Amino acid sequence: MYDIREDDLSGADTRALLALHLAGMHARSPPGTVFALDLSGLQRPQITVWTAWRQSKIACVGALKALNTTHGEIKSMRVHPDFAGQGAGAAILDHIIGTARDRGLTRLSLETGRGPAFEAAVRLYARRGFLPGDAFADYPQTAFNQFFHVEL
């Protein structure tokens, strides 16, 4: 069981997990194909960030970006390595999906990479009904990235 909290990004644990996320994206992605947001990007008013905690340890981070009044984007999903395979990603994703529904969104989309580092996340998205689809928003379609969508 995880405690899901809206996060203002001020805590050291949250910042460290986001730094790990950004470093991992750059290490596992070709140049020019990383669209992960830094702290300033995640502090925009159309983005809400949550973290999952078990006791006093951060387990996962994830965010919802409002693209318009009906369409949202999942951003910055990252499970702390100490919690891999323990349901933290599913807990955050389920919370984001529920919040999106509560806000009246009817569609969620996300962009992610290809390869072994992204396979667990892609499986999680598929289990929640996300289907492969076209690029959205301002994302370029490349040989590396892929896009998923779910109707709520």
* Structure confidence by residue, pLDDT tens digits, 109-122: 999 999 999 999 99
Global pTM reads 0.96
Per the structure, the complete domain to which residue 87 belongs is given by: 3-151
**Number of folded domains that form the chain:** 1
The CATH number that applies at residue 101 is 3.40.630.30
Are the CB atoms for 122 and 87 separated by under 8 Å? no
Contact present, 17 and 80 (Cβ < 8 Å): yes
Q: Are 151 and 107 in contact (CB under 8 A)?
A: yes
Task: Look at residues 79, 84, 85, 75 and name the one whose alpha carbon lies nearest to residue 20.
Answer: 79
Query: What pLDDT, in 10s, does the model give residues 22-73?
Result: 999 999 999 989 999 999 999 999 999 999 999 999 999 999 999 999 999 9
